[in-house]
Amino acid sequence: MAENLFIDPNATKEEKYISLLVQIEALIDNENDITANLANIASALYFGMNFFWVGFYEVKNEQLVLAPFHGPIACTRIAYGKGVCGTAWKKQQTILVPDVEQFPGHIACSSASKSEIVVPIFVNNAVKYVLDVDSEKLNDFSNIDEKYLEQLVKIISKNIEIQYI
Ligand code: SME
Protein backbone atom coordinates (compact mmCIF):
# COMPACT_ATOMS: atom_id res chain seq x y z
CA MET A 1 0.00 0.00 0.00
CA ALA A 2 1.21 3.49 -0.85
CA GLU A 3 1.75 5.48 2.32
CA ASN A 4 2.06 8.93 0.85
CA LEU A 5 -0.25 10.80 -1.42
CA PHE A 6 1.41 12.76 -4.17
CA ILE A 7 -0.52 15.41 -6.07
CA ASP A 8 1.28 18.05 -8.13
CA PRO A 9 -0.02 21.39 -6.80
CA ASN A 10 0.47 22.93 -10.26
CA ALA A 11 -1.60 20.30 -12.06
CA THR A 12 -5.05 21.08 -13.46
CA LYS A 13 -8.11 19.81 -11.59
CA GLU A 14 -8.53 17.04 -14.16
CA GLU A 15 -4.87 15.97 -13.87
CA LYS A 16 -5.22 15.92 -10.08
CA TYR A 17 -8.26 13.65 -10.29
CA ILE A 18 -6.54 11.28 -12.72
CA SER A 19 -3.51 10.98 -10.45
CA LEU A 20 -5.64 10.69 -7.32
CA LEU A 21 -7.85 7.92 -8.68
CA VAL A 22 -4.83 5.75 -9.52
CA GLN A 23 -3.46 6.29 -6.01
CA ILE A 24 -6.83 5.59 -4.37
CA GLU A 25 -7.18 2.32 -6.29
CA ALA A 26 -3.77 1.25 -5.00
CA LEU A 27 -4.68 2.39 -1.49
CA ILE A 28 -7.78 0.20 -1.19
CA ASP A 29 -6.53 -2.73 -3.25
CA ASN A 30 -6.19 -5.82 -1.04
CA GLU A 31 -7.95 -4.15 1.88
CA ASN A 32 -11.47 -5.34 2.58
CA ASP A 33 -12.41 -3.20 5.57
CA ILE A 34 -15.00 -0.75 4.25
CA THR A 35 -14.63 1.77 7.09
CA ALA A 36 -10.84 1.86 6.73
CA ASN A 37 -11.09 2.34 2.96
CA LEU A 38 -13.75 5.06 3.13
CA ALA A 39 -11.74 6.89 5.81
CA ASN A 40 -8.61 6.88 3.66
CA ILE A 41 -10.56 7.95 0.55
CA ALA A 42 -12.14 10.88 2.41
CA SER A 43 -8.69 12.01 3.55
CA ALA A 44 -7.14 11.51 0.09
CA LEU A 45 -9.84 13.59 -1.60
CA TYR A 46 -9.77 16.27 1.10
CA PHE A 47 -6.01 16.81 0.95
CA GLY A 48 -5.56 15.92 -2.73
CA MET A 49 -8.21 18.31 -4.01
CA ASN A 50 -8.31 20.86 -1.17
CA PHE A 51 -12.04 20.56 -0.59
CA PHE A 52 -13.75 22.01 2.49
CA TRP A 53 -15.53 18.79 3.47
CA VAL A 54 -15.47 15.29 2.04
CA GLY A 55 -17.43 12.42 3.48
CA PHE A 56 -19.74 9.48 3.20
CA TYR A 57 -23.22 8.83 4.50
CA GLU A 58 -24.44 5.24 4.79
CA VAL A 59 -28.01 4.08 4.15
CA LYS A 60 -29.22 2.57 7.43
CA ASN A 61 -32.90 1.85 8.11
CA GLU A 62 -34.38 4.45 5.76
CA GLN A 63 -31.93 7.16 6.86
CA LEU A 64 -28.49 8.34 5.87
CA VAL A 65 -26.05 8.11 8.77
CA LEU A 66 -22.71 9.89 8.87
CA ALA A 67 -19.80 7.60 7.92
CA PRO A 68 -16.05 8.32 7.48
CA PHE A 69 -15.35 11.94 6.56
CA HIS A 70 -12.69 14.63 6.64
CA GLY A 71 -13.41 18.22 7.61
CA PRO A 72 -15.52 19.97 10.26
CA ILE A 73 -18.10 17.97 12.26
CA ALA A 74 -21.33 17.37 10.35
CA CYS A 75 -25.01 16.43 10.68
CA THR A 76 -25.28 12.79 11.73
CA ARG A 77 -28.63 11.76 10.19
CA ILE A 78 -30.43 12.78 7.00
CA ALA A 79 -33.89 11.52 6.02
CA TYR A 80 -34.74 9.95 2.65
CA GLY A 81 -35.38 12.70 0.09
CA LYS A 82 -34.13 15.49 2.39
CA GLY A 83 -31.27 17.87 1.63
CA VAL A 84 -28.87 17.35 -1.24
CA CYS A 85 -27.74 13.97 0.12
CA GLY A 86 -31.25 12.59 0.65
CA THR A 87 -32.25 13.83 -2.81
CA ALA A 88 -29.28 12.11 -4.50
CA TRP A 89 -30.28 8.92 -2.70
CA LYS A 90 -33.94 9.22 -3.73
CA LYS A 91 -33.24 10.19 -7.35
CA GLN A 92 -30.36 7.70 -7.55
CA GLN A 93 -28.26 10.23 -9.39
CA THR A 94 -25.49 12.77 -8.91
CA ILE A 95 -26.69 16.19 -7.72
CA LEU A 96 -24.48 19.19 -8.42
CA VAL A 97 -25.38 22.36 -6.51
CA PRO A 98 -23.55 25.53 -7.66
CA ASP A 99 -25.10 27.65 -4.87
CA VAL A 100 -26.45 25.81 -1.82
CA GLU A 101 -28.73 28.72 -0.93
CA GLN A 102 -30.64 28.12 -4.16
CA PHE A 103 -31.26 24.43 -3.40
CA PRO A 104 -34.66 24.01 -1.70
CA GLY A 105 -34.24 22.06 1.54
CA HIS A 106 -30.43 22.19 1.58
CA ILE A 107 -29.16 21.08 5.00
CA ALA A 108 -26.47 23.49 6.20
CA CYS A 109 -24.07 21.52 8.39
CA SER A 110 -21.70 24.48 8.08
CA SER A 111 -22.49 28.03 6.98
CA ALA A 112 -19.07 28.07 5.27
CA SER A 113 -20.19 25.58 2.63
CA LYS A 114 -21.24 27.37 -0.58
CA SER A 115 -21.42 24.69 -3.27
CA GLU A 116 -21.75 20.94 -3.15
CA ILE A 117 -21.81 17.72 -5.15
CA VAL A 118 -23.34 14.44 -3.98
CA VAL A 119 -22.81 11.12 -5.78
CA PRO A 120 -24.73 7.94 -4.89
CA ILE A 121 -22.76 4.73 -4.40
CA PHE A 122 -24.51 1.59 -5.58
CA VAL A 123 -23.87 -1.82 -4.08
CA ASN A 124 -25.60 -4.63 -5.96
CA ASN A 125 -27.87 -2.11 -7.71
CA ALA A 126 -29.12 -0.33 -4.57
CA VAL A 127 -27.80 2.94 -3.09
CA LYS A 128 -25.73 1.95 -0.05
CA TYR A 129 -23.76 5.18 0.53
CA VAL A 130 -23.54 8.70 -0.84
CA LEU A 131 -20.31 10.63 -1.31
CA ASP A 132 -20.74 14.29 -0.35
CA VAL A 133 -18.17 16.96 -1.26
CA ASP A 134 -18.51 20.58 -0.12
CA SER A 135 -16.65 23.71 -1.13
CA GLU A 136 -16.29 27.12 0.49
CA LYS A 137 -16.45 28.65 -2.99
CA LEU A 138 -19.59 29.25 -5.00
CA ASN A 139 -19.87 27.28 -8.25
CA ASP A 140 -16.78 25.20 -7.49
CA PHE A 141 -17.97 21.97 -9.14
CA SER A 142 -18.37 21.13 -12.81
CA ASN A 143 -18.76 18.18 -15.14
CA ILE A 144 -15.08 17.41 -14.43
CA ASP A 145 -15.89 16.72 -10.76
CA GLU A 146 -18.98 14.78 -11.78
CA LYS A 147 -17.00 12.62 -14.21
CA TYR A 148 -14.16 11.71 -11.84
CA LEU A 149 -16.22 11.40 -8.65
CA GLU A 150 -18.53 9.02 -10.54
CA GLN A 151 -15.46 7.02 -11.61
CA LEU A 152 -14.31 7.02 -7.99
CA VAL A 153 -17.61 5.66 -6.67
CA LYS A 154 -17.45 2.84 -9.23
CA ILE A 155 -14.06 1.87 -7.79
CA ILE A 156 -15.62 1.95 -4.30
CA SER A 157 -18.65 -0.13 -5.41
CA LYS A 158 -16.39 -2.74 -6.93
CA ASN A 159 -14.30 -2.90 -3.75
CA ILE A 160 -17.41 -3.37 -1.60
CA GLU A 161 -19.21 -5.79 -3.93
CA ILE A 162 -16.25 -8.18 -3.93
CA GLN A 163 -16.88 -8.62 -0.21
CA TYR A 164 -20.58 -9.37 -0.69
CA ILE A 165 -19.92 -12.35 -2.95
N1 SME B 1 -25.51 19.73 2.82
C2 SME B 1 -25.89 18.35 2.92
C3 SME B 1 -25.77 17.84 4.33
C4 SME B 1 -24.47 17.19 4.61
S5 SME B 1 -23.23 18.28 4.91
O6 SME B 1 -23.05 19.20 3.82
C7 SME B 1 -21.83 17.56 5.34
C8 SME B 1 -27.31 18.16 2.41
O9 SME B 1 -28.01 19.14 2.12
O10 SME B 1 -27.73 17.01 2.31
pLDDT tens, residue by residue, 15-51: 999 999 999 999 999 898 999 999 999 999 999 999 9
**Domain 13-163 CATH superfamily:** GAF domain (3.30.450.40)
Tell me how far apart the alpha carbons of residues 21 and 58 are, in angstroms, rounded to a whole number. Answer: 22
Cα(86) to ligand 1 centroid in Å equals 9
Domain boundaries, the chain: 13-163
Tell me how far apart the alpha carbons of residues 6 and 16 are, in angstroms, rounded to a whole number. Answer: 9
Regarding beta strands 115-123 and 95-97, do their DSSP bridges make them parallel or antiparallel, or are they unpaired? antiparallel
Which pLDDT score is estimated for 163? 74
Which pLDDT score is estimated for 164? 63
**Residue of 53, 37, 4, 44 lying closest to 21 (CA atoms):** 44
Q: Is the CB of 88 under 6 A from ligand 1?
A: no
What parts of the chain have a pLDDT lower than 70? Answer: 1-2, 164-165
Structure pTM?
0.96
End-to-end Cα separation, the chain, in angstroms: 24
Please tell me the residue having the least CA distance from ligand 1 atom 6.
109
Q: Is the CB of 134 under 6 A from ligand 1?
A: yes
